[in-house]
Amino acid sequence: MKSVIVGTAGHIDHGKSALVRALTGIDPDRLEEEKRRGITIDLGFANLDLQSPDGEPIRIGLVDVPGHERFVRNMLAGVGGIDLVLLVVAADESVKPQTREHFEICRLLAVQRGITVLTKADLVDAETLQVVGMEVAEFLQGSFLDPATSPIIPVSSKTGAGLDQLQRELARLAAQVPAKDSSAVFRLPIDRVFTMKGFGTVVTGTLISGTVHKEQEVEVHPTGKRLRVRGVQVHGHSAEEAIAGQRTALNLAGVETTELARGMMLTPPEMFHPVVRLGVQLDLLPSARPLRQYARVHLHVFAAETIARVTLLGAKQLLHGESGFARLKLDRPIVLFPGDRFILRQYSPVITIGGGRVLDAGDPPIRIARDQSLPFLQTIANASPREALLARINRRRIFGLTLAEAVAETGWLPARVQQLAAELKQAGEIAIFGNVLITSRWLERIRQDILSLARHFHDANPLLAGINKEELRAAKWGYPELFDGVVAALLREKKLEADGELLRLPGRGVVLRDEEAESKSQIEQAFAKAGLQVPALKDVLASLPVDKVRAQKILTLLLRDRVLIKLSDDLVFHRDALEAMRRQIVAQKTKTPKLNVGNFKDLFGVTRKYAIPLLEYLDRERVTRRVGDERVIL
């Protein structure tokens, strides 16, 4: 069955709740204070089953809002998810201040359909009803409720006059409402929290997208707590699942009512995070005062409310009736997606001054300059999904955008991001490394930067064979899979060469000056001639015709090439001497399968200072194995 959410709007005491009661038989005023005072203070809910002109069953979820100016914030908590509005105007009073404010709020929220209802028609004569109808028609001219396309229906909740026509028009318009996407990401803004005897904690809200079912795990924002859905109700009836567009109640396990509040949001776990910075497009009402740079305002979006500071982009102030781009800094984090509509109210006195839509809720980890923020918002404001994704990837520059970040920024499911990314890759606009997306432009920048760093390294370190891969990675190229993928591509293209963990440019490596080449030869000869009775390393380095730093680099070069082998901090041996020792030990096995430290000293004519490290080296090389105080020759 198709579900459509209908909200009331209008001035206090114009008969909104009475109209809901007459249509549905359900009293939306649930609070004792509301019944005592005879006014609506908080949101009320009811439902009504209708049939479209084609005979299709439609379930209407009615959200009744308070009309008093003091309770506009409660009204705003209920209208965020409505599909069409019933603008209620009392025939005995005509258009009043909250009629205007509620109407402007619906326009700012981009409500597309509605019916204007002239209530209390039984209290006025036909001539007065006609005059009020003309006044209302003039007020609505040119809007989404223009009488040329949207009906104005006089009714009496007391006598029932006009209710049948209202139901027919409601069914007709409801049939035209596009179905919300139940396959999209699940989001439920919480507008009520209470305890039900025998069940525990219950939350309600209008399911704005996706599907939720029993036993599903959900995450509540901004706390991040994960909860289990114990039970589901749709329009007051138990169900296995709720889909987008339905008034939904969830019985949640593992949480107390004190941990939840109106304005919180339920989503799938570990997909999204609340943000405090938004990029938006603002629309200021014609009646509003100029909005100045860094002004503080009240932000209302779905059931949430917070204070925000406005940073205008490209202007120092926004005049009444104007539109512009801005960034908002919120006092508390909220989960929002591009396209979400919001209302702005003046900080003091608190009146509605405008609204707009969210363009960017990405809050990227890299700092974006203000002069870059405006072009980015202008680009994505009317971009196609593919163009918007490309702009988001480009914004991350050399760091790239992960699939998970793209999902969090856009509110799209991973499959949709992957599909759009595949199209961009096929068009040559981006590259994909694992789960990291990067534009072709910034990819080429990384490639050139890596090659340039390698070139500078060779120039500055002629005695080193190449730059360590991890040292190059430390230059902060973003995600590991991006860096590894770029390096792998450069290796395949033979623009880089690898030697273990070292990377170098083709044809580049160690370049020795005359005195450095002489020092290298001098070190090698000193240890080659010494055999196993090697001199102290520090003495050899001190005798070279180069400075200490270059001497150490030359030694490192010889150790890397395994011309010399270091057995301890001050004991270095030539590889030929160690190889000769290895052959002699193997030959010794024909005479005796074992030897001890004393045997080794006698065999090679060395002192204990050399014997112990050399025997330990033979153990490591699996030439010998220590058993007690002896070595078994393997």
Angle of CA points 549, 554, 558, to nearest 5° = 145
Q: What is the mean pLDDT of residues 162-171?
A: 95
Task: For strands 152-154 and 113-119, give the pairing.
Answer: parallel
Q: Determine, yes or no, domain membership for 484.
A: yes
3-state secondary structure at position 57: strand
Instruction: Provide DSSP, 206-264.
Output: E--BSEEETT-EEEEETTTEEEEEEEEEETTEEESEEETTSEEEEEEES--GGG--TT-
88 closest CA partner among 3, 6, 196, 164 = 6
Mean pLDDT rounded to a whole number for the chain: 89
Residue 325 has pLDDT above 90, yes or no: yes
Compute CA distances 131 → 125, 194, 233, whole Å.
10, 45, 45
Q: Which of 494, 511, 528 is the last residue of a domain?
A: 511
Q: Locate 224 and state its tokens.
A: 């991040």
Whether 11 and 157 map to the same domain: the answer is: yes
What angle do helix axes 514-530 and 575-588 make, rounded to 10 degrees?
A: 20
Name the residue among 90, 87, 77 with its Cα closest to residue 121. 90
| Contact (Cβ atoms closer than 8 angstroms) between residue 11 and residue 65 | no
CATH number at residue 623: 1.10.10.10
Q: Name which residue leads in pLDDT, 59 or 366.
A: 59
Give the model's confidence band at 391: pLDDT under 50 very low, under 70 low, under 90 confident, else very high. very high
616-625 long-range Cβ contacts below 8 angstroms, 24+ apart:
616/567, 617/565, 617/567, 617/578, 618/581, 618/582, 618/585, 621/582, 623/582, 623/585, 623/586, 624/585, 624/595
Q: What is the dihedral of CA 301, 303, 304, 307, to 10 degrees?
A: 60
Of 82-91, 364-373, 445-454, 558-567, least confident by mean pLDDT is 364-373
The pLDDT score that the predictor gives to residue 509 is: 63
Instruction: Quote the pLDDT of residue 104.
Output: 93
Closest to 104 in 3D by CA, of 358, 354, 346: 354
pLDDT at 366 (0 to 100): 65
Domain residues for the domain of 304 are 275-360
Query: Which of the four pLDDT bands, split at 50, 70 and 90, describes residue 352?
Result: very high
Indicate whether 365 belongs to any domain.
no
Question: At residue 272, does pLDDT exceed 90?
Answer: yes
Q: Are residues 233 and 323 in the same domain?
A: no
Least confident of 194-208, 283-297, 323-337, 409-423: 194-208
Q: For residue 508, give the nearest of 562, 451, 449 by alpha carbon.
A: 451
CA 540 to each of CA 524, 545, 548: distance values in angstroms, whole numbers, following the listed order: 10, 11, 11
- Which amino acid would we find at residue 415? A
Q: What would the mean pLDDT of 208-229 be, rounded to a whole number?
A: 95
The reply to whether 39 and 170 lie within a common domain is: yes
Query: Do 457 and 425 belong to one domain?
Result: yes
pLDDT band of 369, cuts 50, 70, 90? low
Look at residues 243, 267, 291 and tell me which one is the last residue of a structural domain: 267
For the chain, give the percent of residues with pLDDT over 70: 94
CATH of the domain at 45: 3.40.50.300
* Cα dihedral across residues 272, 273, 274, 280: positive or negative: negative
How many independent structural domains does the chain possess?
5
β-partners of residue 298 are: 307, 345
Q: Which of 239, 267, 295 is the endpoint of a domain?
A: 267
Q: Assess whether 169 and 22 both reside in one domain.
A: yes
CA distances from 179 to 2, 209, 244, 245, 386 (A): 8, 10, 8, 7, 23
Are 235 and 47 in contact, with CB atoms under 8 Å apart?
A: yes
Closest CA to 335 of 298, 373, 306, 355: 306
> Do 76 and 154 have their domain in common?
yes
Q: Is residue 150 part of a domain?
A: yes
pLDDT > 60? residue 34: no
Quote the pLDDT of residue 372: 81
Q: Is residue 526 part of a domain?
A: no
Do you find a cis peptide bond into 349, omega within 30 degrees of 0? Answer: yes
Residue 236 lies in a domain: yes
pLDDT at position 465: 76
21 shares a domain with 139: yes
In residues, how long is the chain? Answer: 634
User: What is the 8-class DSSP label of residue 65?
Assistant: -
**Confidence bin at 321 (pLDDT 50/70/90):** very high
**Residue at 252 is within a domain:** yes
Residue 254 confidence class, pLDDT cut points 50, 70, 90: confident
Is-contact 267 218, C-beta < 8 A? Answer: yes
Within-domain flag for 256: yes
Instruction: Tell me which of 496 and 363 has the higher pLDDT.
Output: 496
> Does 246 share its domain with 281?
no
Confidence of residue 457 (pLDDT cuts 50, 70, 90): confident
Which value, to the nearest 10 degrees, does the dihedral of the CA atoms of residues 406, 409, 415, 419 take?
-60
- 170 shares a domain with 70: yes
- 8 Å CB contact between 212 and 248: yes
In a domain, 348, yes or no: yes
Q: Give the model's confidence band at 511: pLDDT under 50 very low, under 70 low, under 90 confident, else very high.
A: low
Tens of pLDDT, residue by residue over 472-507, are 888 767 788 999 999 999 999 999 988 888 888 887
CATH of the domain at 240: 2.40.30.10
pLDDT digits (tens, 9 = 90+) for 532-571: 888 887 777 777 777 777 777 877 778 877 888 888 878 8
Q: What percent of the chain has pLDDT over 90?
A: 61
Same domain, 247 and 313: no
Is the CB of residue 29 less than 8 Å from the CB of residue 106?
no
Query: In what helix (H) or strand (E) does residue 196 lie, and over which residues does it extend?
Result: strand 192-196
The DSSP result for 96-134, as a single string, is -HHHHHHHHHHHHTT--EEEEEEE-GGGS-HHHHHHHHH
Whether residues 101 and 42 share a domain: the answer is yes
99 backbone φψ class: left, alpha, beta (φ>0; ψ -120 to 50): alpha
User: 492 Cβ partners below 8 Å, 6+ apart?
Assistant: none
When mean pLDDT is compared over 37-46, 176-185, 393-402, the highest value belongs to 393-402
Closest CA to 51 of 59, 39, 43: 59
Most confidently modeled range among 326-335, 460-469, 556-565: 326-335
Peptide bond into 269 cis (omega under 30): no
Residue indicated by tokens 């395994």 = 562
Could you tell me where the DSSP H helices lie in 154-217? 163-176
Same domain? 42 vs 134: yes
Neighbours of 34 (CB within 10 A): 18
